[in-house]
Structure 1
Amino acid sequence: MAQLTRIHPTSVSLLEVLSMSVEALWSNRLRTGLTMLGVIIGIASVITVTSVGQGVQKATEQQIQALGTNVILVLTGVARTGGGISQGAGTASTVTWEDAQAIAKQAPAAQGVTAYLQRGVQVVYQGENNSTSLLGTDLNYPNVKNIHPKEGQFFSQDDLNAARPVAVLGSTVRNELFGENGTAIGAQIRVQSELYNVIGVMESKGSVGGQDQDDRIYVPLTNMSARIVGNNSLNGVAISGFWVQAKDAAGLDAAQFQVTNLLRIRHNIYPPQQDDFRITNQADIISAFSNIVGLFTVMVSAIAGISLVVGGIGIANIMLVSVVERTREIGVRKAVGATNSAVLSQFLTEAVMVSIAGGALGIGLGVGIAFGAATLFSFPFVISVWSIVAGFGLSFVIGLVAGVIPARNAAQLDPITALRSE
Structure 2
Amino acid sequence: MAACPPAPPKRLAPARLGPGDVLHIGSSGLRSRPVRVVLSALGIAIGIATMIAVVGVSASSQAQLMQQLDKLGTNLLVASPGDPTFAGEKVKLPQDAVGTVGRIAGVQEVGATGSVKASVRRTEKIAEENGGIQVVASTEGLLKVLRGRTDSGTWLNGASGRYPAVVLGDVAARRLGITGPGQQVWIDSRYFTVIGILAPLPLAPEIERSAMVGWKAAQKLLSFDGHPTTVYERSTDASVEQVRSLIAPTIDPQNPQNIKVTDPSAALQAKAATKGAFSSLMLGLGGIALLVGGVGVANTMIISVLERRYEIGLRRSLGATRGQIRLQFVTESLMLSGLGGLAGLVLGSLATGAFAYGGGLPWVVPLWSATGGFGATLVIGTVAGLYPAVRAARLSPTLALHAV
Give deviations 1:35-73, integer Å, cap 9, x for gaps.
212221221122112211121112123334433321101
Per the alignment, residue 40 of structure 1 pairs with: 45
Counterpart CA distance in 2 for 1:22 and 1:138 is 74
Q: Which moved more, 1:13-22 or 1:343-352?
A: 13-22
Counterpart CA distance in 1 for 2:106 and 2:258 is 22
Per the alignment, residue 21 of structure 1 pairs with: 26
Give the 3 Å change call, closer, same or farther, for CA 260–93 of structure 1 in structure 2.
closer
Aligned AA for 1:31? R
Share of identical aligned residues, percent? 26
**C-alpha displacement of 1:243:** 0.7
**C-alpha displacement of 1:206:** 6.2
Calculate the aligned-residue CA RMSD, in Å: 3.4
DSSP-derived class of the 1:17 partner: helix
**C-alpha displacement of 1:215:** 5.3
**C-alpha displacement of 1:118:** 5.7
Of 230, 233, 241, 1:244 maps to 233
Per the alignment, residue 146 of structure 2 pairs with: 145
Q: How does 1:233-382 map to 2 (within 5 A)?
A: 237-246=226-235, 248-265=236-253, 268-269=254-255, 275-282=257-264, 284-382=266-364
The answer to whether the Cα contact below 8 Å between 2:41 and 2:339 also exists between their aligned partners in 1 is yes
Q: Which moved more, 1:310-319 or 1:291-300?
A: 291-300
1:76 aligns to 2:81 (yes or no): yes
Q: How does 1:98-109 map to 2 (within 5 A)?
A: 98-104=96-102, 106-109=103-106
Q: Which moved more, 1:255-264 or 1:368-377?
A: 255-264
**C-alpha displacement of 1:11:** 4.3
Give the 3 Å change call, closer, same or farther, for CA 349–191 of structure 1 in structure 2.
farther
The answer to whether the Cα contact below 8 Å between 1:63 and 1:205 also exists between their aligned partners in 2 is no
Per the alignment, residue 409 of structure 1 pairs with: 391
The answer to whether the Cα contact below 8 Å between 1:109 and 1:258 also exists between their aligned partners in 2 is no
The answer to whether the Cα contact below 8 Å between 1:171 and 1:215 also exists between their aligned partners in 2 is yes
Give deviations 1:392-416, integer Å, cap 9, x for gaps.
2222222122212211211121111
The answer to whether the Cα contact below 8 Å between 2:80 and 2:229 also exists between their aligned partners in 1 is yes
Counterpart CA distance in 2 for 1:93 and 1:321 is 78
Corresponding pairs, count: 389
Per the alignment, residue 3 of structure 1 pairs with: none
Per the alignment, residue 3 of structure 2 pairs with: none
Aligned AA for 1:186? G
Give the 3 Å change call, closer, same or farther, for CA 127–348 of structure 1 in structure 2.
farther
Q: How does 1:177-256 map to 2 (within 5 A)?
A: 177=177, 179=179, 184-191=180-187, 194-202=190-198, 204-205=199-200, 207=202, 214=208, 216-224=210-218, 232=225, 237-246=226-235, 248-256=236-244
Q: Which moved more, 1:290-299 or 1:47-56?
A: 290-299
Per the alignment, residue 158 of structure 2 pairs with: 157
**C-alpha displacement of 1:157:** 2.4
Give the 3 Å change call, closer, same or farther, for CA 153–40 of structure 1 in structure 2.
same
Give deviations 1:92-142, integer Å, cap 9, x for gaps.
4433443233222x4223222111136896542799997345443111112
1:399 aligns to 2:381 (yes or no): yes
Give the 3 Å change call, closer, same or farther, for CA 33–79 of structure 1 in structure 2.
farther
Counterpart CA distance in 2 for 1:117 and 1:308 is 57
**C-alpha displacement of 1:354:** 0.9
Give the 3 Å change call, closer, same or farther, for CA 11–214 of structure 1 in structure 2.
same
Counterpart CA distance in 2 for 1:18 and 1:118 is 76
Give the 3 Å change call, closer, same or farther, for CA 192–417 of structure 1 in structure 2.
farther
Counterpart CA distance in 1 for 2:400 and 2:151 is 81
Counterpart CA distance in 2 for 1:80 and 1:320 is 76
Per the alignment, residue 88 of structure 1 pairs with: none
The answer to whether the Cα contact below 8 Å between 2:334 and 2:381 also exists between their aligned partners in 1 is yes
Give the 3 Å change call, closer, same or farther, for CA 95–26 of structure 1 in structure 2.
farther
Counterpart CA distance in 2 for 1:62 and 1:194 is 42
**C-alpha displacement of 1:301:** 2.1
Aligned AA for 2:139? D
Give the 3 Å change call, closer, same or farther, for CA 48–92 of structure 1 in structure 2.
farther
5+ residue gaps, structure 2: 1-10
**Higher radius of gyration, 1 or 2:** 2
Per the alignment, residue 8 of structure 2 pairs with: none
DSSP-derived class of the 1:154 partner: coil
Give the 3 Å change call, closer, same or farther, for CA 126–227 of structure 1 in structure 2.
closer
Give the 3 Å change call, closer, same or farther, for CA 118–397 of structure 1 in structure 2.
farther
Give the 3 Å change call, closer, same or farther, for CA 8–159 of structure 1 in structure 2.
closer
Aligned AA for 1:218? M
Give deviations 1:270-308, integer Å, cap 9, x for gaps.
7xxxx2222112454454444333333333323322322
The answer to whether the Cα contact below 8 Å between 2:94 and 2:227 also exists between their aligned partners in 1 is yes
Counterpart CA distance in 2 for 1:311 and 1:291 is 30
